[in-house]
């Protein structure tokens, strides 16, 4: 079509008659305008195709981001379920130990008391994966997310992780404090002799006396308190994970 316009233009310029030249010039002008319109239309079509390709790539990338977020938070959710059971175990065990403090006759054998103390030594921690979110932030692709509610939840998630990491440290330290106290005022061997395949200590030492010790009581109280706080923040995280998964699944 463009070649036809050019051919007619050249033919018009070779005409000698002024009247014919004027008439042909009008036609040429019409053809020229048509040619320009075709060029513009071609450019617009090319731009439209390019935009469509970019949108297609962006949508494909967004879909991949959603898939990665779903996989990561599903894994975090599964790991958290196990840790919630563990933190409840050590919290409840520590509370049971506190009930035995100061009793003249705890009605439990020394072996049973040792197993009770062991419950207070656990320090289950949960370190959720944050790889996908960190990658989105570092590459600037977080802006690709179109769901504003999801963005807000991911920002809140970062704060929640910081809180959890702090309570992970506190619970671990409170457990270590009990172990350190046992090293001086009790017998760790009497606690875990079965785990390492030995007998109880040959020394005349017992952990029964710890249940009449104010320092041991304070250490247990701190462990129970920290465990309770940790359980609370873990439960908050569990709710937040479900909200994030719900929003992420909205394509």
205-247 pLDDT, tens per residue? Answer: 999 999 999 999 999 999 999 999 999 999 999 999 999 999 9
What is residue 101's DSSP assignment? T
Q: Does a structural domain hold residue 7?
A: no
Q: Does a structural domain hold residue 57?
A: no
- Give the count of domains, the chain: 1
Give me the mean pLDDT over the 173-202 stretch.
92
What domain range is 194 assigned to?
Answer: 65-248
Q: Where are the beta strands (DSSP E) in 13-80?
A: none
Name the helix (H) or strand (E) containing 134: helix 131-139
Per-residue model confidence (pLDDT) at position 94: 96
* CB 121, CB 183: distance < 8 Å: no
Q: Does a structural domain hold residue 28?
A: no
Q: Does a structural domain hold residue 2?
A: no
Q: Does a structural domain hold residue 174?
A: yes
Please state, rounded to an integer, the average pLDDT across all residues of the chain: 86
d(CA 200, CA 197): 10
Confidence band, pLDDT 50/70/90 cuts, at residue 2: low
Give me the mean pLDDT over the 51-67 stretch.
79
Whole-model pTM: value is: 0.76
Please report, in angstroms and rounded to a whole number, the separation of the first and last CA atoms in the chain: 44
Q: Does a structural domain hold residue 56?
A: no
What's the alpha-carbon Rg for the chain, to the nearest Å?
A: 37
The better pLDDT of the pair 47, 179 is held by: 179
Tens-digit pLDDT profile for residues 80-104: 999 999 999 999 999 999 999 999 8
Q: Does a structural domain hold residue 124?
A: yes
Q: Does a structural domain hold residue 10?
A: no
How many other β-carbons are positioned within 10 Å of the β-carbon of residue 97?
24
């Amino acid at each position: 079509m463009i070649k036809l316009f050019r051919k007619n233009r050249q033919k018009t310029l070779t005409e000698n008659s002024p009247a014919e030249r004027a008439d042909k010039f009008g036609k040429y002008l019409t053809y020229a305008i048509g040619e320009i319109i075709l060029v513009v239309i071609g450019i617009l079509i090319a731009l439209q195709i390019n935009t469509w390709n970019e949108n297609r790539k962006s949508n494909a990338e967004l879909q991949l981001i959603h898939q990665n977020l779903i996989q990561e938070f599903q894994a975090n959710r599964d790991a958290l379920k196990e840790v919630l059971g563990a933190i409840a175990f050590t919290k409840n065990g520590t509370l049971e130990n506190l009930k035995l403090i100061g009793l003249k006759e705890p009605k439990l054998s020394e072996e049973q008391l040792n197993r009770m103390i062991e419950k207070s030594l656990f320090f289950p921690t949960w370190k959720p994966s944050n790889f996908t979110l960190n990658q989105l932030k570092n590459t600037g692709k977080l802006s690709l997310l179109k769901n504003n509610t999801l963005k807000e939840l991911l920002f809140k998630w970062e704060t929640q992780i910081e809180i959890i990491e702090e309570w992970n440290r506190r619970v671990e330290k409170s457990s270590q404090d009990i172990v350190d106290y046992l090293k001086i005022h009790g017998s760790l061997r009497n606690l875990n002799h079965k785990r390492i395949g030995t007998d109880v200590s040959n020394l005349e030492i017992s952990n029964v006396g710890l249940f009449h010790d104010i320092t041991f009581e304070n250490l247990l109280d701190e462990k129970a308190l920290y465990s309770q706080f940790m359980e609370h923040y873990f439960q908050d995280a569990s709710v937040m994970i479900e909200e994030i998964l719900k929003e992420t699944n909205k394509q």
